[in-house]
């Protein structure tokens, strides 16, 4: 197996952790912010969390992960004077599973539906992994908008994963096709095989289990279609047109979205962008580097 095949085996744009045990969808406990549902243009209901008040931060989740992945960012930053918002992508968590709409144009429309329903303006968007394409799709769809003020791409899969004549460093499309064939037969085993690089050795078994449980809310239809959309996407043009203040944060041990293929070239495209590299950080740096990441998000999001 060559280097590109190994990369394709670990890249799914997000959570590479084993599935285990079904997570119950309990009602919010007393004292917690109550969730709301936003209806997308095709009738799909999206489950939304909104904690705190102040300058808004919209968190967009990675592949196969729901809004719950942002618990350690939202809990801390909602106490630091921010309104922290996150929603379950269609087919994830508590949102509806319509069996369709897993293309970036529809997903960008879902972002628009949430921002509009909550009347958000001046938001900092933090987009993990494949969701960078969602916010770019939203911005391409809406053009200049007062709802988004700046964008932070975290462990991004942008700008273009698949090899092309003008993108020779990418992965051959056939390698992604072979990877997806495993999803059809035993997705949990594929996740198990590719789980360790997502976190660090010091990550506790309970934290790993917590992430595993989150993944159980994702439908296989969403898993397959989103992986196909993510690996085929080419957002070099969208990034080149981005004029908002932009920050990329990426780990130099990200096996799911290697730095040299993603954040390094992506960060050179927007008009005003900065790249921060976390030494030793994997794709799941939202749980492995909580304190540092929260501080960097806060510094970037302060109006």
Q: Please report whether residue 231 resides in a domain.
A: yes
Q: Which domain holds residue 134?
A: 3-20+33-301
Check if 129 is active-site. Answer: yes
**b or e along 255-293 (b: 16 or more beta carbons within 10 Å of the residue's beta carbon)?**
bbbbbebbbebbbebbeebebeebeebbbbbbbbbeeeb
Per-residue model confidence (pLDDT) at position 31: 33
Q: Please report whether residue 28 resides in a domain.
A: no
Q: Please report whether residue 26 resides in a domain.
A: no
Per-residue model confidence (pLDDT) at position 262: 98
Per-residue model confidence (pLDDT) at position 11: 53
Q: Which CATH number goes with the domain that contains 67?
A: 3.40.50.1820
Per-residue model confidence (pLDDT) at position 212: 78
What whole-number distance in Å separates Cα of residue 50 and Cα of residue 86? Answer: 7
Per-residue model confidence (pLDDT) at position 3: 46
Task: Choose the catalytic residue: 50, 66, 95, 129.
Answer: 129
Q: Please report whether residue 15 resides in a domain.
A: yes
What whole-number distance in Å separates Cα of residue 285 and Cα of residue 73? Answer: 11
Q: Please report whether residue 25 resides in a domain.
A: no
Q: Please report whether residue 64 resides in a domain.
A: yes
pLDDT average per 10 residues of sequence, the chain (303 residues): 50 43 36 69 96 97 96 98 98 96 97 95 98 97 86 98 95 94 90 87 92 84 96 97 96 97 98 97 98 98 89
Q: What's the number of domains the chain is made of?
A: 1
Check if 283 is active-site. Answer: yes
Per-residue model confidence (pLDDT) at position 30: 33
Q: Please report whether residue 27 resides in a domain.
A: no
- Alpha helices by DSSP H, 118-219: 132-142, 173-193, 205-215
Per-residue model confidence (pLDDT) at position 215: 77
What whole-number distance in Å separates Cα of residue 89 and Cα of residue 95? Answer: 7
> What is the pTM assigned to this prediction?
0.90
**24-31 contacts: CB < 8 A, separation 24 or more?**
25/94, 25/217
Per-residue model confidence (pLDDT) at position 35: 62
Per-residue model confidence (pLDDT) at position 72: 98
The residue whose two tokens read 């390094």 is: 264
Contact 276, 249 (CB under 8 A): yes
Q: Please report whether residue 249 resides in a domain.
A: yes
Task: Choose the catalytic residue: 254, 256, 267, 289.
Answer: 254
């Amino acid at each position: 197996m060559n280097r590109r095949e190994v990369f394709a085996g670990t890249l799914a744009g997000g959570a590479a952790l084993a599935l285990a045990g079904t997570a119950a969808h309990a009602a919010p406990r007393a004292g917690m912010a109550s969730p709301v549902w936003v209806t997308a243009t095709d009738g799909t209901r999206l489950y939304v969390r909104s904690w705190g008040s102040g300058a808004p931060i919209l968190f967009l989740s990675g592949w196969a992960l729901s809004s719950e992945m942002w618990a350690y960012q939202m809990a801390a930053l909602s106490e630091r004077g921010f309104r922290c918002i996150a929603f379950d992508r269609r087919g994830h968590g508590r949102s509806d599973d319509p069996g369709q709409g897993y293309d970036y144009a529809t997903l960008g429309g879902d972002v628009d539906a949430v921002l509009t329903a909550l009347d958000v303006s001046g938001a900092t968007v933090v987009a993990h992994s494949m969701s960078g394409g969602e916010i770019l799709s939203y911005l391409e769809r809406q053009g200049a908008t007062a709802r988004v003020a700046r964008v932070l791409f975290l462990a991004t899969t942008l700008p273009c994963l698949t090899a092309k004549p003008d993108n020779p460093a990418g992965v051959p499309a056939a390698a992604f096709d072979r990877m997806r064939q495993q999803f059809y037969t035993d997705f949990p085993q594929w996740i198990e095989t590719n789980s360790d690089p997502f976190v660090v050795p010091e990550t506790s078994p309970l934290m790993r289990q917590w992430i595993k449980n989150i993944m159980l809310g994702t439908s296989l239809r969403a898993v397959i279609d989103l992986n196909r959309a993510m690996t085929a996407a080419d957002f070099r043009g969208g990034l080149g047109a981005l004029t908002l203040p932009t920050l990329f944060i990426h780990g130099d041990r990200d096996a799911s979205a290697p730095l040299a293929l993603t954040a390094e070239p992506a960060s050179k495209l927007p008009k005003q962008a900065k790249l921060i590299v976390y030494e030793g950080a994997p794709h799941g740096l939202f749980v492995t580097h909580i304190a540092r990441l929260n501080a960097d998000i806060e510094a970037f999001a302060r109006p």
